[in-house]
Chains A and B, each alone.
Chain A
Amino acid sequence: MWQFFHKLGSPKWFYGIAGRFMPWLLGIGLLLALSGIVWGLGFAPKDYLQGNSYRIIFIHVPTAFLAQSVYLMMAVAGVVTLVWKMKLADVFVKAVAPVGAALTFLALFTGAVWGQPTWGTWWIWDARLTSMLILLFLYLGVMALGSAIADEKSAARAVAVLVLVGVVNIPIIKYSVNWWNTLHQPATFKLTEKPTMPPEMWVPLLLVVVGLYLWFGWIALYRMQTEVLRRERRSRWVQDLMHPGGRSDVSSGGARADGV
């Protein structure tokens, strides 16, 4: 266990192991997400109440779901940064904050476009919508704070504190639809209950959720690799990797770079 923990602190080890997982994450993720999207757009039955506009759910729910879990993952990484001062945790936060911001924006945007034909309005200051907007600002704040402080260690600590303060927003997002009964409908999936939708609707939705998670795994590892290379650019193993006429797979992620 401790050896694993120690190894996890080694950027070189991380670089190599990430490269092995990445092709699988990307391949299976794209396959699942795209098949779920095609199924949802063209083959799932239409909703008896909302008609075809409900087909937005197949990207709205996965992006909203992932936007919140990415923030939770960042919070865990924030604790690791503050307690164990592990640099890879900070690398993770820095690498995924823009991805989280994009996913939150997509959840808000698809929600607004869905709201127009369904509720008759693009936006209201409903608790769910407002707390998601705060999540977007938190992501943007993390990105801005990280790039505003030049010293890497101070930046890592400041960002970790901001992420942890903002984590209070996550239960608010989750329970907002139960606490305040306004326009947004309650959760589509619950762990403890059977879905209220027919399988022809929730199976493609689940495919997109799982596929998008795997795709996120890929882009997170790829962006972390880039950040590791940037931070370790003066170390021997990166210099060997970057040697002119050296390995050419460094741009694509370097699936075999562990043997350097």
Chain B
Amino acid sequence: MAFDSLNALIVMEGHGPYVWTCYGVFFLLLGVLVWWSLRERRQLVREQKQLQQQKTEASPLQAGSTAGSFQRINTSRQ
């Protein structure tokens, strides 16, 4: 350990505020980015599931049955 005590680690001979501000902002910003990405996914999934639910209620026979039908695979090439 480069420091004698926890207090010395926090103070860092006067450079503590600079160093800890940097690390704080680093973890905060990357954390927000992760949280935002997870939230985007959850919202999309929730919306799509609701849409599917509405479809199922409108025509219960057709929705969700893949058996006996051709499965189209979108390859996204133009």
Given the interface contacts A99-B33, A219-B34, does A12 sit within 8 Å of B13 by beta carbon? no
CB-nearest residue of chain A to B42: A251
Partner of B41 from the list A110, A114, A222 (CB cut-off 8 Å) is A222
The minimal Cβ–Cβ distance linking A214 to chain B, given in whole angstroms, is: 13
Number of A-B pairs, beta carbon distance below 8 Å:
131
Residues B76 and A87 in contact, CB atoms below 8 Å apart: yes
Q: Does B7 make an interface contact (CB < 8 A)?
A: no
With CB as the reference atom, state the residue of chain A lying closest to B19: A55
Chain A contacts with B in 103-125, Cβ cutoff 8 A:
105-106, 109-110, 113-114, 116-117
The verdict on A236 contacting chain B, using a C-beta distance below 8 Å, is: yes
Q: Shortest Cβ distance from A181 into chain B, in angstroms?
A: 25
- B31-60 contacts to A (CB < 8 Å): 33-34, 37-38, 40-42, 44-45, 48-49, 51-53, 56
Interface size class of B (residues with CB under 8 A): 35 or more
| A10-B29 in contact given A219-B37, A242-B48 (Cβ < 8 Å) | no
* With A9-B75, A43-B2: A63-B52 Cβ-Cβ less than 8 Å: no
Provide the bound-state CA to CA distance between A107 and B3, in Å.
26
Q: A3 to chain B: closest CB distance in Å?
A: 12
Whether A56 touches B18, Cβ cut-off 8 Å, given contacts A43-B2, A251-B42, is: yes
- Contact flag A10-B73 (CB < 8 Å), given A52-B13, A56-B18, A223-B37: yes
Are A110 and B22 within 8 A (Cβ)?
yes
Q: Which residues of B contact A (CB under 8 A)?
A: 1-3, 9, 12-13, 15-16, 18-19, 21-23, 25-26, 29-30, 33-34, 37-38, 40-42, 44-45, 48-49, 51-53, 56, 64, 66, 71-78
Task: Return 27 A-B CB contacts under 8 Å, by A number.
Answer: A10-B73, A42-B3, A44-B2, A53-B15, A53-B18, A55-B15, A56-B18, A56-B19, A59-B22, A60-B22, A85-B77, A87-B76, A98-B33, A99-B33, A106-B26, A114-B22, A215-B30, A223-B37, A229-B48, A235-B72, A236-B66, A236-B73, A238-B48, A242-B51, A243-B64, A244-B56, A251-B45
